[in-house]
Amino acid sequence: MSEPWAHRFLLSPAYRVPATGFGFVLFGAGATLISLTAFPMIYLMPLRKRHKEKLTRFVISTIFMSYVRLLRGLCLLTYEFRNSAQLKEMNQLIVANHPSLLDVVFLIAITGDASCIVKGALWKNPFTAMPVRSANYISNTDTQLFSRCVDLLNAGGSLIVFPEGTRSHPEELLKFHRGLSNIALSSIQKITPVLISCNPPTLMKNQHWYDISNEPPHFIIDVLPVISTDHYMADGQLQSAAARQLNRDLEFYFNRLTGRLVGQIENGVN
């Protein structure tokens, strides 16, 4: 009798709302503590810039993986990774949809050594400025955003991009910023797509943290086959036109995979 009762309790708002709040508080407090201890120590180490960058990313990745495992242990969510070993390889432009607040946590946890485009506010926050700089993350307000992304990829690094720029609205078609397509065409000319799903939807855009579903959300992080983009520049095609076409095809690709184009005929990227 105790097991059914315990199961019902773990699914109840009486447990899950305060446990979710605890998860947010723990993330904030832990991030603050580590920002005041581990990252200053890394900064002071007599290491080359690339070694500090790699170590910082490893620490962040380890913390994020520990965090999602903790959330799973608290019965607040479940998750599965598909083909995730692909994300451990270097020199990738990793492109993902963005249904939930936890998407970036999952991707950084899996990749281990990748840069990503982050909000400019993190560079001004005293508790996050040091780790994002040390990890060589790229601010979305950086005037050299495009060139920094291209240089990073051409130097053999990996970059995580959420081309929507913000979390998806569940009832709207995905719209991508064209900068992603220009970055791909100007650098390694291939894209590693990642499809993220969360069911039931949680921590969506404009959704309160305490607005919980009737059961823990299940996240699927599905790494899909690499998309080559070199043919978009064939036959002397102007990059501006190629970028527009690639952007349209990527939007169609992700909209179809997320079920937003049910019944339509596939075209473009496949």
Mean pLDDT of all residues in the chain?
91
Q: Are 93 and 153 in contact (CB under 8 A)?
A: yes
Mean pLDDT of 141-151: 94
- Res 3: pLDDT: 58
- Relative to beta strand 227-228, strand 138-139 is unpaired
Does residue 103 surpass a pLDDT of 60?
yes
- Res 171: pLDDT: 82
- Res 1: pLDDT: 43
Q: Where do runs of H (alpha helix) occur along the chain?
A: 2-11, 13-44, 49-73, 103-111, 121-124, 129-134, 145-154, 179-186, 239-257
Distance CA 179, CA 146 (A): 7
Mean pLDDT of 124-132: 87
pTM score over 0.85: yes
- Res 124: pLDDT: 86
Residues 6+ apart with CB under 8 A from 122: 128, 129, 132, 137, 139
What is the percent of the chain where pLDDT is above 70? 96
Distance CA 249, CA 253 (A): 6
Domains plus CATH for the chain?
Answer: 2-257 (3.40.1130)
